[in-house]
Amino acid sequence: MATALKKAADWLNERLPEPPAVGVILGSGLGEFAGALREAVTIPYDDIPGFPAAAVVGHAGKLVAGRVGAVPAVALSGRVHYYEGHPMDQVVFPARVLGLVGCRDVVVTNAAGGISRAFRAGDLMLIEDHINLFGANPLIGPHDPDFGPRFPDMSDAYKRDLREVALRVAKRERIPLRRGVYVGVHGPSYETPAEIRAFRALGAHAVGMSTVPEVIALNQMGVGVVGISCITNMAAGVLKQKLVHDEVLETTTRVKERFVRLLSALVETIGCGRTGEAPPDEPGVGGRPATHRKGSRKR
């Protein structure tokens, strides 16, 4: 797998307009952000050696590289999921490639079901931590030290400094941003009301079928992670209605303007902070050194 990852990264490095500072992984129905990149270069996943194909409705299956303000960025418009039958090393393959092409920080996004009764469909939630209920982990199997430690620390999986930046950016942009814990499950069936009650008792605020494996892999590589969930529907038993995937896409369409505005401001602020340039009204952002080793590196 390490050889396949290096081949994909080398192939992309020859075609990307410049090394990206920030990567973005876009969840179900959240691909509008990719269209906001300036000077964009679009590459279908099918063209990238070893890249798994995105097949779920709402996932475009393309990599888009460009700029957000002055910041070089790359967005994965769509992801693959464990429930599609992909092994974990394939699920995290695109995320690992983001680290290998130079992304120092990655913004992970997803569409999620709201567990907290305080949430409403259309809310945006900053992920403060996660609970892994996939029953699997992308680091299981032979260890490759080029990707980082065998037992990576996960006590700050969603970096505190990046979360603080996200909160300041949301306040500046006047976009309400909830906070909470995301529980990741493998799906593809939606959860039962009893499962949702159990997740609530565990301290979860939102539930989805992605994100957790990618965050584990990125943390192993030393890449900074910040996560945003779009609450697209209330989870089973919270409201007296059945759950359907169409509701996910309808909600993401409704909130796309707010989502794109928040994500654009966040990516620009993180990227400018890394280079010592602060965007308007956000002085002194960033500055956390990169710890990874480049080159060794639904919901």
List the catalytic residue out of 95, 111, 204, 235.
111
List the catalytic residue out of 77, 84, 195, 229.
84
296 is catalytic: no
List the catalytic residue out of 77, 110, 210, 219.
210
The residue to which tokens 């080159």 are assigned: 295
245 is catalytic: yes
Q: Which residues pair with 130 in a beta bridge?
A: 182
182 is catalytic: no
List the catalytic residue out of 77, 110, 219, 233.
233
List the catalytic residue out of 81, 86, 130, 292.
81
**In angstroms, what is the C-alpha Rg of the chain?**
18
Contact at 8 Å (CB) between 59 and 31?
yes
| Structure-derived torsion over alpha carbons of residues 110, 292, 98, 182, reported in degrees to the nearest 10 | -10
83 is catalytic: yes
- Region class of 141: left (phi > 0), else alpha (psi between -120 and 50), else beta: left
155 is catalytic: no
List the catalytic residue out of 65, 245, 264, 268.
245
C-alpha 139/C-alpha 255 separation (Å) is 34
205 is catalytic: no
List the catalytic residue out of 112, 206, 209, 234.
209
List the catalytic residue out of 28, 77, 110, 116.
28
List the catalytic residue out of 59, 86, 130, 205.
59
Contact at 8 Å (CB) between 272 and 70?
yes
List the catalytic residue out of 83, 136, 198, 247.
83
- Region class of 58: left (phi > 0), else alpha (psi between -120 and 50), else beta: left
229 is catalytic: no
- Region class of 165: left (phi > 0), else alpha (psi between -120 and 50), else beta: alpha
- Known catalytic residues? 28, 59, 81, 83-84, 111, 209-210, 233, 245
